Amino acid sequence: MYPNTRLRDTDLGPEYRSDRGHIVQDFYLPALRTATHYDRAVGYFTSSSLALLGQGLDDFTDRDGTLRIVASPYLEQQDITDIEAGYALRAVLERAALRDLTHAIEEPHAARGLGKLGRLVAEGRVEFKLAYIFSNNRVGMYHEKIGIFRDGKDLVAFKGSANETRSGLVGNFESIEVFRSWDPRDADRALRISEDFDDLWHNRTTLLRVLPFTDAAKQIVEQAVRDTAMRTDLDDLPLDGAPVAVHPPRNDTNGMLAIPSDLVVRDYQKTAVQNWFAHRGRGLFRMATGTGKTLTALAAAAQLTGMLHKQNKTLLTVIVVPYQHLVDQWAGDIARFGMTPLRAYESTSAWYQRASDLQHALALGVARAGVIVTTNKTFGDPPFQRLLADYTGQLLLIADEAHNLGAARLRTRLPEKVQYRLGLSATPERWFDDAGTEALTDYFGDVVFELGMGEAIQRGALCRYTYRPVLVELDEEEADLYVTVTTKIAKLMAVQHGADTLDDDSPLGALLRKRANILGHARAKLPALHKELEQRRDQSHQLIYCAEGRHPLSHEHDLDEPTQLDQVMTMVGTDLHMPAARYISETKRADRQTVLRRFSAGDDLQAVVSMRCLDEGVDVPAARIAYLLASSSNPRQFIQRRGRVLRKADGKDTADIIDFIVVPPSGASALQHETERRMLRGELARVEEFARLADNEADTLDLLRPLRKRYGLFDT
């Protein structure tokens, strides 16, 4: 309790303006600390503003303070259309106001003030009303801004431009005039403003109509308070390798990331966090797919948040991921750590203002921490870059699948002002792009922790597996096209002196994709796949990776040939009568979740057929059998795909990987021999990597011995 117990002792001035003081710190908080009643009539008022006023509300609540709020809901176009169509006006206004309140409560930084508001609501000491103008069958917004503080004897009235929102109190240029009842110069004006509010509250103001809103608002607030109370905040992740201590929830950790009680932090994850801190909060985690990169990163973020909080510093964590569905996946994990992140993707209008408000709340020190999850695309666009440029506080940038940020467009967007940086990737090196790889290490730092797939299997973080390569031949037409494209690649690389940079839209990148597509679409793969599926047609949890797009020869000859994925879906569903579903980039996010849920259950969906969108980050631990039709020689792709099927799951001890390996046609000419050797060398590199950790390594290598002998590849 502050020693000042009366308003006249607070030394409040007659005016507050953004260029001459701080409206919140210098006026609102001192008044709230001494008042017993607070009346507020404002154009926009949401519960999130109570996060800003949380410090003052402590004493206000303890003194049994009462709060009366008159606000005007924000009407969207659909609301206006409904009113014009004859819908019940009161119902539309309440719906709009509840929408505003719900959105505010869902914001990550609202939790701090929410508990105090909940106590006032529960004890019947806060009332809400809605005001609007209704004239000539038109609805207008009530936009007056007045307020009155009382302490039982004196009152302070104020009016001015500031809305009681975060942006209104913190981000905008605002001014208010203050009238004190004990000052003879202000007394009449203070009393008149107080009477104006009473007339408004009791619906006695000409042109205005006022509706009760307390009962509707109470349900929303009380439910939000219950949801917030269910979150568990724990001690920081220990850096000495000791077990994570679990303690009861503490009030002083609300609104921050914290280790959840049901999370088992593995020793190697603790080591990764230790190493990152030892390198002053910068570095790359090279961790095999499926070993818990996400949870390790969030443990580091939680530890950092706690450390900075002890120094009275706030932290904004920005997490950048390749795709929208990974934003949602990360959001689910972040919720386990006790926070609701702001998801920034799609339309800028859907997230920009909320992100800006979050930054204001952090700058004020009311919100202790905030988390924004966004996509690579949104991260690189100007609106998000402006947000990062404007933010002056402590910032942690976590890049999931960090290798993507080495692309030419994105690496120039990495903000230098970020104090803490963490990159996550099983393969941080960019294929055929030394400049991009160097840019990543220059920005994030070196690899500070590494957990390869072999060690992960030994530790039990990933399951064991068997690996079976299936050899398929290119036909003569495919082989000729492969030689032609390879010749063009060699000439272009010679001109570019090795092409130390490679982007998807470069000529070299296009040729490399075309050559990979020749191998991925090899026509002999489909009958070979049919044979493999027949042997397992009664088994569930089968994952089939297809090549992207169409066969390159269909473009060469302008053929209307079905995609490989379409042909596989027909084969699995129609020919073999195995329930299957697509999981591709065009699949809606809600449908994707349904597909993965059904696939995990294994009751009515035997197979999922996919392309690239399952490569990075998507959790499909239920997968037990994987067929790799797309034969990329890019190490990142085949390592990601192997990792998808090696994730641990209940009742899953081992996994099976069937890989379709392309070999030259048996009657190949001597002219093509060297090109075919290079093709096989790339294919065999993948086979050897897969076989090296498989339970049946010897059998796999024996299968390839005749090929090595034929092409003289025993030295590779």
Looking at the structure, do residues 281 and 381 belong to the same domain, yes or no? yes
338: pLDDT strictly greater than 70: yes
Are residues 261 and 332 both part of a single domain?
A: yes
Q: What's the confidence (pLDDT) of residue 660?
A: 93
My answer on whether 319 and 374 are in the same domain is yes
**What's the mean pLDDT in 356-367?**
84
In a domain, 295, yes or no: yes
Q: Which residue has the higher pLDDT, 550 or 53?
A: 550
> Residue 144 and residue 159: Cα distance in Å, rounded?
8
Q: Is residue 99 part of a domain?
A: yes
Query: Does the pLDDT of residue 704 top 60, yes or no?
Result: yes
Q: Are 256 and 209 members of one domain?
A: no
Asked whether residue 24 is assigned to any structural domain, the reply reads yes
Give the model's pLDDT for residue 234.
Answer: 27
Strands (E) located in 332-463: 342-344, 369-375, 394-400, 420-425, 447-451
The DSSP H or E segment spanning 607 is: strand 607-610
In a domain? residue 507: no
Identify the domain containing residue 632 by its residue range.
463-473+523-711
State which of 458, 485, 515 marks the end of a domain. Answer: 458
* Residue 646: per-residue pLDDT: 85
Q: pTM, whole model, 2 decimals?
A: 0.58
Amino acid sitting at position 475: D
- 560: tokens are 């209307």
Confidence of residue 505 (pLDDT cuts 50, 70, 90): low
Pair (51, 128) in one structural domain: yes
Mean pLDDT score of the chain: 80
Q: Of the candidates 643, 580, 587, 588, which has an alpha carbon nearest to the alpha carbon of residue 616?
A: 643
Q: Specify whether 131 is located in the same domain as 219.
A: yes
Asked whether residue 140 carries a pLDDT value surpassing 90, the answer given is no
Residue 237 pLDDT: 36
Position 452 pLDDT exceeds 80? yes
pLDDT tops 80 at residue 630: no
CB atoms within 10 A of CB 87: 13
Q: Does residue 321 fall inside a structural domain?
A: yes
Q: Report the chain's C-alpha Rg in angstroms.
A: 31
Claim to verify: residue 585 and residue 538 sit in the same structural domain: yes
Q: What is the pLDDT of residue 217?
A: 78
Please check whether residues 638 and 682 belong to one and the same domain.
yes
pLDDT score recorded for residue 414 = 93
Domain annotation covers residue 317: yes
* Lowest pLDDT segment from 65-69, 133-137, 407-411, 611-615: 611-615
Among 433, 458, 483, where does a domain finish? 458
pLDDT given at position 172: 45
Same domain, 173 and 276: no
Q: What is the mean pLDDT of residues 609-616?
A: 68
Residue 488 in domain: no
- Say if strands 175-180 and 155-160 run parallel, antiparallel, or are unpaired: antiparallel
Shared domain check, 359 and 277: yes
Q: Number of helices (H) and strands (E), helices first, in the chain?
A: 27, 22
Q: pLDDT tier at 607 (50, 70, 90 boundaries)?
A: very high
Flag whether pLDDT at 422 surpasses 90.
yes
Same domain, 210 and 296: no
Find the mean pLDDT for residues 176-195: 94
List the CATH number of the domain containing 362: 3.40.50.300
Q: Which of 165-169, 296-300, 363-367 has the lowest mean pLDDT?
A: 165-169
Looking at the DSSP assignment, which residues form a beta bridge with residue 373?
319, 343
276 pLDDT higher than 80: yes
What burial class does residue 543 get, using C-beta atoms within 10 Å of its C-beta: 0-12 exposed, 13-18 middle, 19+ buried? buried
Per-residue pLDDT tens digits for 196-236:
999 999 999 888 888 888 888 787 777 666 555 443 232 33
**Residue 187 and residue 142 share a domain:** yes
Residue 324, domain member (yes or no): yes
User: Which percentage of the chain shows pLDDT scores above 70?
Assistant: 81
Top pLDDT among 688 and 248 is at 688
Residue 230's pLDDT is 40
Is a pLDDT exceeding 70 seen at residue 378? Answer: yes
Q: Which of 42-51, 580-589, 700-709 has the lowest mean pLDDT?
A: 42-51
Q: What is the CATH number of the domain that holds 76?
A: 3.30.870.10
> Which amino acid appears at position 148 of this protein?
I
Structural domain count of the chain? 3
SS3 616: coil
Q: Looking at residue 632, what is its pLDDT?
A: 56
How confident is the model at residue 22, as a pLDDT? 73
Residue 333: predicted pLDDT: 92
pLDDT attached to residue 368: 87
Query: Pick from 429, 458, 487: which residue ends a domain?
Result: 458
